[in-house]
Amino acid sequence: MRPLVSIIMPAYNAEKYIGEAILSVQNQTFTNWELLIVEDVSTDNTVEIIKTACAKDIRISFQQLGQNSGTGVARNTALQISRGRYIAFLDADDLWRNDKLETQINFLQSNNFAFCFSYYDIISAEGVVTGTQVTAPESVTFSNMFSCNWIGNLTAMYDSDKVGKLTIDSARKRQDWNLWLTILRKVDKAHAIPESLAYYRRGNPSVSSGKIALLKHNDLVYRKFHQLHIVASIASMFLFLCVHFVIKPSYIRKLPQK
């Protein structure tokens, strides 16, 4: 029997997109998965959409937080109840290619890897492919990740048999970066699949948007997660900015329009 994959999906005021996100999971060629949706006290029709999906597919389940607590708490809640050997992540406004899970499971198993990710394409708020693709180095280590989060959350997958049953930071932002760093303290590398397997939605008011606005959260990563004093944190932030604005743009491709 194929291994179970636990898919972690936080949801907050996602009525415009969550139906598409769920459908992109249901359309996977790899079918042995559980979709764990944790709803963060939305004020729109998100809960009703999730309940409808749960009623039609027993592989989908959801919990509702008692109060609005942020993406970190929502993801951690799902991780704590996850049953799968493999853990994957999809936000409620993003999408997967149909063979995303199949490709990653085969990649991890055939190479005996613990942690992988892939390239991804940018789509507009309306779901239109923009022609921009975010790539990455062939592999990344803890040192690489210290100065730049190379892994798109929607593309990550890890083997919990190899890295353990992990929890995630409760911070509202950058908690995925902390998780990748935690994994890379246990394994040597995260390996990139050199093709796009997912679609990241840009242009909507999402907690994951606004790179410059995340700088203060980067500082929290350096000072809380790495326990650096203020001078070391400032130096690390300078390094992050250099990588982000000088090196990382070379990994962003503009694809020819079809």
pLDDT of residue 204: 46
pLDDT of residue 79: 94
pLDDT of residue 207: 44
**DSSP single-letter state for residue 83:** -
Has residue 47 got a pLDDT over 70? yes
Q: Look at phi and psi of residue 136 and say left if phi exceeds 0, alpha if psi is from -120 to 50, else beta.
A: beta
Give the closest residue to 92 by CA, choosing from 200, 4, 171, 5: 200
* 135-173 burial: b if 16+ Cβ within 10 Å, else e: bbeebbebebbbbbbbbbbbbbbbbbeebeeeebbebeb
Has residue 210 got a pLDDT over 60? no
pLDDT (average), residues 13-22: 97
pLDDT of residue 235: 82
- Cα–Cα dist 185/143, whole Å: 10
- Cα–Cα dist 132/65, whole Å: 35
pLDDT of residue 241: 84
Which tens digit of pLDDT belongs to each residue from 215-258? 666 767 777 777 778 888 778 788 888 888 899 999 999 987 65
pLDDT (average), residues 31-50: 97
pLDDT (average), residues 129-138: 96
**Taking the mean position of all CA atoms in its chain, how far away is CA 24?**
15
Q: What is the pTM of this model?
A: 0.91
* 179-199 burial: b if 16+ Cβ within 10 Å, else e: bbbbbbeebebbbbbeebbbb
Phi and psi at residue 199, to the nearest 5° = -130, 115
pLDDT (average), residues 127-149: 94
Give the closest residue to 132 by CA, choosing from 121, 145, 118, 119: 121
Has residue 209 got a pLDDT over 70? no
- Cα–Cα dist 144/161, whole Å: 24
- Cα–Cα dist 116/101, whole Å: 11
- Cα–Cα dist 26/57, whole Å: 9
- Cα–Cα dist 160/153, whole Å: 16
Residue bearing the bigger pLDDT, 215 or 118: 118
Give the closest residue to 245 by CA, choosing from 215, 201, 200: 215
pLDDT of residue 132: 96
Has residue 212 got a pLDDT over 80? no
